[in-house]
Every structure is written in structure tokens, then in C-alpha cells.
Structure 1
Amino acid sequence: MQFKNIFRKKVNANKPKKSALREWGDALLFALIASTIVRGIIFSAYAIPSGSMEGSLLIGDHLFVDKLAYGARMPITPVTVPFTEPTVYGVKTYWDGIELPYYRLPGYTEPKKGDCVVFNKPEELETPIDQRTTLIKRCQATPGDELRIINSQVYINGKPAANAPRSLMEYVVQTDGKDINQLLLTDLSIQTVQQLSLDQYVMLVPLDKLKEFKSYSNIKSVEPVLVPATQYDSTIFPHSDHFKWNLDNFGPLVMPKKGMTVALNDSTLTLYRMAIESHEGNKVETNGKDILINGSKADTYTFKMNYYWMMGDNRHNSLDSRFWGYVPEDHIIGKAAVTWLSTDSSANNMLNKVRWNRFFRLIK
């Protein structure tokens, strides 16, 4: 007895067979679509170009960024050249003729204090959000938190915040006049910034090596380099002499939170105008003592988004929220997950250029 295979796919004898070129084209198209989805929604690779996160992350570290953690942000400018920077040799690789509203898929967590977060730079207001410069910093404050910095120590809601173990600070180091062993400095990842005299230096010291460094007999004192609280710095947010803040002494400032309402006056408008006007799309004007939002007098404002405070671990060598303010939720790309490659451009041979001990290293 013979049985017919009823599940056999019928072949259309009249259907022309795909050419090898067509099959390769279909495969490449599928690969492009699949990789674009993976890169756009699941994870992306980024490189560390500056020292603002040393010693947690090094120049030359290449990272995988988990976009699912906080929820994948859908493209705002969907027409772009895949796998390119926003500009190449001064030419834009995207078309801003179409800009979609901000939308984010649900994530499995939210940005938390201590997370290394990848985001777009908030102050580049003339550029679409998802095409702005990409930065990585550590989250210091979350929506609704009161942040204050006293002598470079961050305080959240009145309590000292945990510092990253390998965060860097500048110190004035006083010795007994004897030379400091350079191998010791290398082993402790300490960098000499400046020699002030025969027995005095400015050095970058990792927090987790500070106690050991102080214990050596030829080290007489190690004092942090701090900007006095009385010294106003106009480059520091909110760039107003109503708030005489600086790099090491800042605040208090409450992070805007979705649904949070603030009373509007000269002080709160100075602190929150960028959020109200630039990030949430309102027209803000003043008429004498009156504050007008979208043409109507307003005594209060209710925020539409959550905002975060981001700072580099290399505290005196980081352009961060202290300079351009809080980061809106629609600027956040994802959570830095793992270092998959690290290269040292200053190494003198190819073998030493690769930092093998940083391969597939979890980011903390």
C-alpha cells in the first residue's frame, strides 16, 4: 500500500527560480533588518572617548548597552543611515523632516542611583533628541530626590550617597621630599597631574586606594582639592548668581518628577525653566512679577516627565549635570552592561594595546 505525503509542499513548476544574486540580496536585506532591530531595541555598542568616568571606565573601553533595561526608546528620527554617527565629516546621516513623538517600551527596571547610564546630551536643543551627543555617566539622583553637594560629597535627601569604589578625586600630596616610587603609583592607578614643588604634588587618586596610599611612610598628608563654597562659578547650572554654586558645593536642588507640582517664582523659574520650556515644550514669558506659560498667567507648574542627575566618577574632569542640569527621561538610551573590549592607544606595541583583563567585564 502506498501513502501520499499530504504535507509535501507543492512546487509551482512555472515559478522562476531565484538567482544566486537575488538570494544573496534577500539574505543581506534580512541581516540588515535584523541587526537594525537588535541595535535599535535590544543593545548597542559604544566606545568611551573621554576620561570623565575614570577609574570605573577607561578611555578605549567598548561597551554593550542594554536598551531593554529601562525600556527601548523608539526612534524619534526614523530616517537614518544605519550604523553611523549622527554626522560624518560634517554631513548629517539622518533626515529630520520626520520626527516622531517620544515613546518607550516597558522595561524590566528603572534608572537607579549608582547605575551607569547612557543618554543623549540635554543641552543640544537644536538637534533631535536621539541624534544628540551620546554620553555615559553615573546616576546620582532620581525623580523627587533632593540633591546637594558639600565639599564634593553628594548628599541625597540629606544622607551621604555611596561613591563608586574607583571614583577619582584630585588631592594635594605632601611628601617628605623623597621620590615616590613610580611602580607604586602605577599599581595603585594614581596619576600625577602636577608637581607643585620638590615635595608637593597634585594627584588623581582612586577612592579604593586612598587609605593604602596614605599609609606609606614618605606620604605626609593627602588633602582633597576643593572649590570653596563661597566661590561662585557661572559655568555651573543654573548659570545664575541667584544660586552661587560651584563644582564641589552645589544645591539643594529637587529633581523634577512626573506629576510633581512646584510653585512658580523667580527662584523656581531659574531652576526649572529649562525643563518647563525646552524639555516639555512650553512657551515661558515674564511680565513684571507675573509668569506666563503658553500665554496664560501661572502660579504653579506640574511636570510631565521624570528627570535624573548624572555625574562622572572622575569628579574634577567631567562635564555633567553640574554644568547642564538634569537629564529628562526621553534622553535616556539604556544601561551600560558590560565592557566587551578595551584598547589603550598610548601603548607602545600592538600586544599591549589590548587590555585583556577588561574583556567581558561587568560594569558596576
Structure 2
Amino acid sequence: MSVTETKVVKKTVVKAKKPVWREWLDAGVFAIVAATLIRTFIFEAYTIPTGSMEGSMLVNDYLFVSKLSYGPRIPMTPVALPLVHNSMPLTGGKSYTDAVKWGYRRLWGFGNVERNDVVVFNFPAGDTVMAQRPADDYYSALRDEFNGDREAIAGRYKIITHPVDKKENYIKRCVGMPGDKLEVRDGVLFINDAPGANYPHQKLWFSINGTTAGIADYLSDNEIEQVPPMACGGQGNVFFLENVQVAELRKIPGVNVAPFIYPKGFITELGVFPHDTANFKFNRDNFGPIVLPKAGVTVQLTPQNIALFRRVIRNYEVNTLEEKDGKIFINGKEATSYTFKMDYYWMMGDNRNNSLDSRYWGYVPADHVVGKAWFVWFSYHKEGMSHGIRWKRLFRSVHSLEK
């Protein structure tokens, strides 16, 4: 008997090598996806554009904002160009479509917003923007320049609207928590009738008087800016000073340093929240008292106090609001009270007299909070890179820079 042996021959399949362009494409897609996930859920880079947080945060500070501190917010406008905020890099058009919208949801985080945190958030009044004046508040311009005429302002400027998560990002210090009683008395912040926290580099306007020759040298050596005389009644001796600088100047014999304060009831700025000078004679130095809205809390509504809550009811919590014949109607029904659905915060800049903050546009809703300022990774002089890098600020936490 013969035995036939059968050999099994294995064929080796050789995969065709990807072309170079395909390898680069795959790597690019992976990098964009990874960067988008990190930016959305872990941390995001942010640049300080203005001096409203001086001297804690300086113009041209580059910092990372932690999304995990308060829990990352699920994108509310998910269909968007990756790695840009709300406008196309070259054309300036919208970088997203609001054809798909998701409700507000926040994932687990390490904690909640706490008093005196430095917070990045979406600008509450940024739902409507003038394309030719993107840095200006549309509602202030509508109120102060166009007397409330929406057709007139639309005839002059291209008007753009943004959903919550595509409003511009702002950075301020959270000084007021939901339910807090808040007041500014002669430039001093009070929370629940107790003085708020002070920081060494916090700035206010101060008048400096004296004949000591060292004053000019001190102002020059410390790059202290003068307040434009037209902003302070023609006075030429008013300066932006940090608390530590005030203390140092007061040590110089013959020098008198005093806060420059708008007195209570002195109306100089129509743009101060709640934009109702008949019932609220507030200014930046004497403001309130007001109580911040808190989820689940019910407030009584009257024609005299409705200005405090209009945007909350209509814009942030999306109800219809009508005022007619001394009565208030919410969603078509007469209302004498309202129960808040969300928590609201009060944000102010450390450069108190050079900051457009909650004193001008009101409360910051919880769904507008983006994250907590974490640490500065790069910084250079406000006049430009040629004036030098601020080496002492690099890789320092925001908390350490406040001291």
C-alpha cells in the first residue's frame, strides 16, 4: 500500500504600502481628533487680551484653562470646524452650524465653581454681535447709541448671533455665588455684608498728591498708567494703582494717596446693570445691594425690579416675557413671581476700574462656565515680544501669581 503525502503551501499576502500622502493624512486626522478631545474635555489654551485682570493676569499671558475642575461641558453646538472657536480663520464666517443643537450637560469634575476662582466663561451678552465691532457689546450700543432701534443698528452693522458655547470667552474672578447678597460701597466689594477678598495686585483708581520728587520716578519705574483726565473730571493726578503700590507710595513722606470714587447715586454711566436709572442709581463704585439668582429660589416680580431679571427670564432660561399696563406676563400668563432654573455667578476683573464685568452686563449663568484658569505657560510684554519675555511668569499657577 502506498501513501500519498500532500504538502500544504501557505501563501503570504503582502499588503500594499500606503502612499506617503495617505500616511500624512491619517496622522493629521488622528492629531486633530486627539487635540479636539483634549480641548473639549481636559484643558484649553487661552490668551489674556485685555488689562481687565491686571495685575493678577497680564495682557499677553498664555494660559491653560482646566475643563476638569468643574467638569467638561458637552458641546452644545457639536457640528463645528475643529480647533477654532466661532469664526473661520481666513474668511471670518461662522465656523459652525447650529442646525444641530444639544442641551446643556456637564460631565463629572473635581469640584464646583468657588468664590474667588479665576474663571473662563462665555460672555453672557455675546449672543448678538456687530460684525464690524466684535469687541463691543451689542446691547450697550443698541441702548446708548441707537435708542433701542434694532432696525437702525442692523442698517449700520452686520448682525451675527451665537449660541451659548460659541459666544466669546471672557476671564474674570468669580466674586459672587448663587444666592449671595452683593454690594459695592465706595469701591469696596461686600459679600453678604462682609468685605470681599483683596489681592495684592488688584487695581483701582487713586489720586496722588504731593511735591516729593520721588513720585515721578516711582510711577515711571513701575510703569504705572495715568487715568485719562477726561475719564475723571479733568484731573491729571489719577492713576491705576495696585494695592501693594498704594502701600509703598504711602510710605513716602509728603505723599497723599486717596481712592478716586464715584459717589453713591452719581450716574455717569448708562451702561451699568440693570440699565434702569429710574429704579437703580448704580455706578461702578457704588452698586447694589442685589441678591444673585439661585436655582430653585423664587423671587417676587414688580415693574420696579423686573430690570434685574429680564435677561435671566427671557434669554438665559428661554421664556417669553411681556410687560404691559404695569403687569408682567411670562409665557403668556400674568406672573407676580418667578422660580429660577439655574445658578448664577457674579464676575469682576481685578483691575476694578478698567474692567467691563458683571457690573455692566449682569449675572453669568452656570451653563456659560467654560473652566478654571490653571497656569501660565508663556508670557511677554504687552507692547510686544521685542520688549521682552516675562520669564518669572512662565509655568506658574494662577494661584501663585495672585500673591
Gaps of 5+ in 1: 1-9
In the alignment, structure 1 residue 168 sits paired with structure 2 residue 170: no
Shift of 1:80: 1.7
AA aligned opposite 1:133: E
Alignment-derived partner of residue 114 in structure 1: 116
Q: Which moved more, 1:208-217 or 1:138-147?
A: 208-217
Rounded Cα–Cα distance in structure 2 between residues aligned with 1:11 and 1:86 = 54
Rounded Cα–Cα distance in structure 2 between residues aligned with 1:60 and 1:11 = 62
Alignment-derived partner of residue 237 in structure 2: 201
Alignment-derived partner of residue 73 in structure 1: 73
Alignment-derived partner of residue 175 in structure 2: 140
AA aligned opposite 1:114: N
Distance 1:156 1:12, change over 3 A: farther
Rounded Cα–Cα distance in structure 1 between residues aligned with 2:354 and 2:318 = 32
Alignment-derived partner of residue 157 in structure 1: 192
Distance 1:111 1:292, change over 3 A: same
Shift of 1:50: 0.7
What is the TM-score when the length of structure 1 is the normalising length?
0.90
Alignment-derived partner of residue 138 in structure 2: none
Rounded Cα–Cα distance in structure 2 between residues aligned with 1:225 and 1:74 = 44
Shift of 1:337: 0.6
Alignment-derived partner of residue 7 in structure 1: none
Match of 2:96 among 87, 94, 97: 94
- Per-residue displacement from partner, 1:229-274 (whole Å, max 9, x unpaired)? 0212321000002111001101111111111111121233221111
Alignment-derived partner of residue 38 in structure 2: 38
Match of 1:341 among 378, 387, 398: 378
Contact 2:69/2:110 (CA < 8 Å) preserved in 1?
Answer: yes
- Per-residue displacement from partner, 1:277-321 (whole Å, max 9, x unpaired)? 110000011232332111112222111111000011111111010
Alignment-derived partner of residue 7 in structure 2: none
Secondary structure of the structure 2 residue equivalent to 1:76: coil
What is the TM-score when the length of structure 2 is the normalising length?
0.81
Alignment-derived partner of residue 325 in structure 2: 288
- Per-residue displacement from partner, 1:144-192 (whole Å, max 9, x unpaired)? 101011011111111110122210111110012535252x335556333
Q: How does 1:43-62 map to 2 (within 5 A)?
A: 43-62=43-62
Rounded Cα–Cα distance in structure 2 between residues aligned with 1:230 and 1:320 = 20
Gaps of 5+ in 2: 1-9, 128-160
Secondary structure of the structure 2 residue equivalent to 1:91: coil
Alignment-derived partner of residue 162 in structure 2: 127
Alignment-derived partner of residue 309 in structure 2: 272
Contact 1:229/1:249 (CA < 8 Å) preserved in 2?
Answer: yes
Contact 1:189/1:205 (CA < 8 Å) preserved in 2?
Answer: no
Shift of 1:75: 1.1
Q: How does 1:300-315 map to 2 (within 5 A)?
A: 300-315=337-352
Alignment-derived partner of residue 5 in structure 1: none
Rounded Cα–Cα distance in structure 1 between residues aligned with 2:11 and 2:395 = 48
Rounded Cα–Cα distance in structure 2 between residues aligned with 1:148 and 1:260 = 20
Give the aligned length.
Answer: 349
Distance 1:164 1:25, change over 3 A: same
Rounded Cα–Cα distance in structure 2 between residues aligned with 1:18 and 1:86 = 35
In the alignment, structure 1 residue 228 sits paired with structure 2 residue 263: yes
Rounded Cα–Cα distance in structure 2 between residues aligned with 1:66 and 1:121 = 18
Secondary structure of the structure 2 residue equivalent to 1:137: strand
Q: Which moved more, 1:24-33 or 1:40-49?
A: 24-33
Rounded Cα–Cα distance in structure 2 between residues aligned with 1:194 and 1:179 = 22
Q: How does 1:226-265 map to 2 (within 5 A)?
A: 226-232=261-267, 233-241=269-277, 242-265=279-302
Rounded Cα–Cα distance in structure 2 between residues aligned with 1:339 and 1:120 = 20
Rounded Cα–Cα distance in structure 1 between residues aligned with 2:312 and 2:322 = 14
Contact 2:303/2:327 (CA < 8 Å) preserved in 1?
Answer: no
